[in-house]
């Protein structure tokens, strides 16, 4: 039976918000669902595809589709960790299975041969219907377990399983992994960061470099896997949900032991699942529920590790460049940000505040700077004296001088030191996570450790509220590197706390380094 084409025409999609596209597809696909169900019954099959991407319609179809497959034949994959709101006592374990399973769980203990604690897991099934622009209609099954009441500074071992697959069985013991909770008072630790990773050789190489840094956690600044190819937040973007399977398999070697703290980029607005495009995010990730609304904005949260407060934001909410989700929180995210930054600054023992999100506040590369980010959030960053801002979006490494009031507050050369209370804030674009690389404006040379080429000014632009590019001449672009890379931040506490921020090329060679010290 031929099914009608219910994709949204590209010209129409560009004029519709994410929510309007979702309602359009919901209406059109309701007829399609009737046709699919009728055809499936006639053929003796149940597809379980729900037009809104939810699991409700599939709940009765899934068991019949997999009733003949024993759990022993279904192997978990794609394990990835995330902190709960308190990294000292909470960890979230997530993974994937290729088919629906019964009674999934996690075994956990303080020794690999003693996984005595058993915790039930939640199944979040995600159904991608076939339609124009979708390469593959696919059912995906994500599982999540919340581990609470853990001991600070403790290494735990865990295995994931379900009926028919027990990680404690001798044949599955190779699947056991480990993680470590945050110490109560760490004296020194490392965290890493990048955005725009995707799937491929360069992305996997960055994972290997990351592991060598032995980070306490990793910050992923959005554009996670690029299942959505164009990143405009519209159903005409082109979409392949199978990229998520590849991505989670690729990253399992590191994300199964290093908490993988993601936020949302423009390519993560997947318009096929929910009005805001975040239905897929909610299915795949279990992130801290410490934001203003974990269901409405899964990429918005905060946590504290040692003497660092970390804040994740969703810049799709304020982006002038890509407006599909512009204003979707109705200002709630920005209100929460103001309050949360104030709370972190007032918390005893927190020396540094780090904020990360996708769209760039300051960059000269292809996407340049987003005026919406600058208008909404930069005044709050300065008000609360944020110590470091990390972005992705532009597939390069670029680092500013310390910026205060939109101007250079202090030049920060390679190897330099800056004090946010006096100089302003350093902004880092760490978009060399693995996706195809960008360049810099014509005539502007790279400038990095061992190859410094300072420019007095750079001709670039920023995105205005009119969605047009506004030219600007800037003096804050201090370090520029066009290569795959990651950010490595070493944090020290004590009487003279400091953050040593380094950018590493995939070879491991350092291309930038600077220090942040408050009251230096």
- What average pLDDT does this structure show over 143-163? 98
- For 188-199, write each residue's pLDDT tens digit: 999 999 999 999
Kindly report the backbone phi and psi dihedral angles of residue 399, in degrees, each rounded to the nearest multiple of 5, phi listed first: -135, 135
Q: Which of 203-207, 250-254, 454-458 has the lowest mean pLDDT?
A: 454-458
What was the pLDDT predicted at 131?
Answer: 83
Q: 297 vs 29, which has greater pLDDT?
A: 297
Residues 151, 152, 154, 160: is their CA dihedral positive or negative?
positive
Q: Among residues 80, 81, 77, 73, which one has the least CA distance to residue 96?
A: 77
Q: Which DSSP letter does residue 268 get?
A: G
- The pLDDT score that the predictor gives to residue 60 is 27
DSSP state of 332: H
Which tokens is 380 given? 């709050």
State the Cα torsion 321-326-332-333 to the nearest 10°: -40
Q: Residue 48: pLDDT above 50?
A: no
What pLDDT is attached to residue 155?
A: 98
Residue 34 has pLDDT above 80, yes or no: no
- Residue 40: band (very low, low, confident or very high) from pLDDT cuts 50, 70, 90: very low
Residue 370 has pLDDT above 70, yes or no: yes
pLDDT band at 274 (very low <50, low <70, confident <90, very high): confident
In contact, 376 and 318? CB cutoff 8 Å: yes
Q: Which of 196-232 are b and which e, b meaning 16 or more Cβ less than 10 Å from the residue's Cβ?
A: bbbbeebbeebbebbeebebbbbbbbbbbbbbbeebb
- 9 or 279, higher pLDDT: 279
pLDDT at 130: 87
pLDDT at 132: 80
Nearest to 51 by CA among 68, 32, 65: 32
So what's the pLDDT on residue 20? 52
Which residues are within 8 A (CB) of 498 and not within 5 positions of it... i.e. 6 or more apart?
A: 491, 492, 515, 516, 517
pLDDT above 80: residue 165: yes
Residue 9: pLDDT over 60: no
Mean per-residue pLDDT for 285-299?
96
CA distance 179 to 254: 11
Interval 76-90 mean pLDDT: 98
Closest by Cα among 193, 200, 192 to 435: 200
Segment 286-307 shows an average pLDDT of 97
* Percent of the chain at pLDDT exceeding 70: 87
Q: Check pLDDT > 90 for residue 13.
A: no
Domains of the chain with CATH codes:
1-183 (2.60.40.380), 185-222+300-516 (3.60.21.10)
Cα–Cα dist 9/51, whole Å: 18
Q: Is 388 helix (H, G, I), strand (E, B) or coil?
A: strand
HEC-encoded secondary structure of 37-101: HHHHHHHCCCCCCCCCCCCCCCCCHHHHHHCCCCHHHCCCEEEEEEECCCCCCCEEEEEEECCCC
Other CB atoms within a 10 A radius of the CB of residue 386 amount to 25
Task: Say if residue 51's pLDDT is above 90.
Answer: no
**Strand residue runs (E) in 240-380:** 260-262, 301-305, 308-312, 352-356, 369-370
Q: Compute the average pLDDT of residues 115-143.
A: 94
| 12: Cβ contacts below 8 Å, ≥ 6 apart | none
Q: Which residues contact 286 (CB under 8 A, 6 or more apart)?
A: 82, 92, 93, 94, 144, 146
Model confidence at 43: pLDDT above 90: no
* Pairing assessment for the beta strands 510-516 and 417-418 based on DSSP bridges: parallel
pLDDT tens per residue across span 396-412: 999 999 999 999 999 99
Which pLDDT score, from 0 to 100, does residue 67 have? 53
Q: Is the pLDDT of residue 142 over 80?
A: yes
Instruction: Give the residue-averaged pLDDT of 149-158.
Output: 98
Q: Higher-confidence residue: 520 or 91? A: 91
Average pLDDT score over residue span 92-121: 97
Distance CA 60, CA 129 (A): 17
Coil, strand or helix at 454 = coil
* Three-class SS state of 380: helix
Closest among 122, 70, 78 to 97, alpha carbons compared: 78
CA 473 to each of CA 253, 321, 399, 447, 485: distance values in angstroms, whole numbers, following the listed order: 43, 19, 16, 18, 26
pLDDT, averaged across the chain: 89
Mean pLDDT, range 130-143, rounded to an integer: 92
Rounded Cα gap, residues 148 and 168, in angstroms: 21
pLDDT of residue 467: 86
Does position 3 have pLDDT exceeding 80, yes or no? no
Write the secondary structure of 273-305 as one string of H (helix), E (strand) and C (coil).
CCCCCCHHHHHHCCCCCCCCCCCCCCCCEEEEE
Residue 82 · residue 94 · CB < 8 Å: yes
pLDDT 10s digits, 400-446: 999 999 999 999 999 999 999 999 999 999 999 999 999 999 999 99
């Amino acid at each position: 039976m031929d099914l009608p084409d219910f994709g949204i025409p590209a010209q129409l999609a560009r004029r519709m918000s994410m929510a309007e596209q979702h309602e359009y597809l919901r209406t059109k696909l309701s007829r399609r669902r009737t046709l699919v169900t009728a055809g499936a019954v006639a053929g003796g099959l149940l597809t379980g595809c729900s037009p809104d991407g939810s699991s409700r319609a599939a709940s009765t179809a899934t068991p019949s589709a997999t009733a003949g497959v024993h759990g022993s034949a279904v192997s978990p994959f794609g394990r990835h960790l995330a902190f709960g709101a308190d990294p000292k006592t909470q960890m979230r374990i997530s993974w994937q299975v290729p088919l629906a399973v019964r009674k999934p769980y996690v075994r956990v203990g303080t020794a690999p041969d003693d996984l005595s604690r058993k915790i039930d897991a939640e199944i979040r099934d995600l159904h991608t219907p076939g339609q124009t622009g979708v390469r593959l209609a696919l059912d995906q099954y994500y599982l999540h377990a919340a581990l609470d009441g853990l001991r600070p500074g403790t290494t735990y071992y865990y295995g994931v399983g379900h009926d028919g697959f027990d990680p404690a069985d001798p044949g599955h013991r190779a699947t056991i992994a480990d993680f470590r909770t945050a110490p109560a008072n760490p004296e020194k630790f490392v965290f890493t960061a990048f955005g725009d990773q995707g799937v491929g050789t360069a992305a996997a190489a960055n994972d290997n470099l990351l592991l060598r840094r032995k980070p306490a956690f990793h910050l992923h600044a959005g554009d996670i896997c690029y299942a959505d190819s164009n990143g405009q937040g519209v159903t005409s973007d082109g979409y392949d949900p199978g990229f998520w399977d590849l991505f989670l398999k690729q990253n399992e070697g590191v994300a199964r032991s290093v908490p993988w703290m993601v936020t949302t980029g423009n390519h993560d607005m997947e318009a096929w699942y929910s009005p805001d495009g975040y239905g897929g995010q909610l299915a795949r990730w279990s992130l801290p529920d410490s934001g203003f609304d974990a269901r409405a904005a899964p990429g918005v949260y905060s946590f504290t590790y040692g003497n660092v407060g970390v804040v994740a934001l969703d810049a799709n909410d304020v982006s002038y460049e890509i407006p599909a989700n512009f204003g979707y929180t109705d200002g709630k995210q920005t209100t929460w940000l103001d309050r949360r930054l104030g709370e972190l600054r007032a918390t005893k023992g927190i020396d540094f505040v780090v904020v990360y999100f996708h769209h760039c506040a300051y960059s000269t590369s292809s996407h340049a700077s987003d005026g919406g980010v600058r208008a909404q959030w930069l005044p709050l960053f300065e008000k609360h004296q944020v110590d470091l801002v990390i972005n992705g979006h532009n597939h390069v490494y670029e680092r500013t001088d310390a910026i205060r009031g939109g101007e250079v507050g202090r030049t920060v050369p390679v190897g330099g030191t800056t004090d946010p209370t006096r100089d302003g804030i350093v902004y880092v674009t760490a978009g060399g996570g693995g996706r195809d690389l960008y360049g810099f404006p014509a005539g502007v040379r790279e400038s990095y450790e061992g190859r410094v080429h300072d420019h007095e000014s750079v001709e670039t632009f920023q995105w205005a509220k009119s969605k047009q590019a506004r030219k600007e001449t800037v003096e804050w672009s201090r370090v520029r590197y066009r290569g795959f890379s990651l950010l490595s931040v070493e944090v020290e506490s004590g009487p003279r706390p400091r953050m040593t921020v380094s950018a590493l090329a995939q070879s491991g060679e350092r291309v930038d380094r600077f220090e942040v010290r408050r009251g230096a």
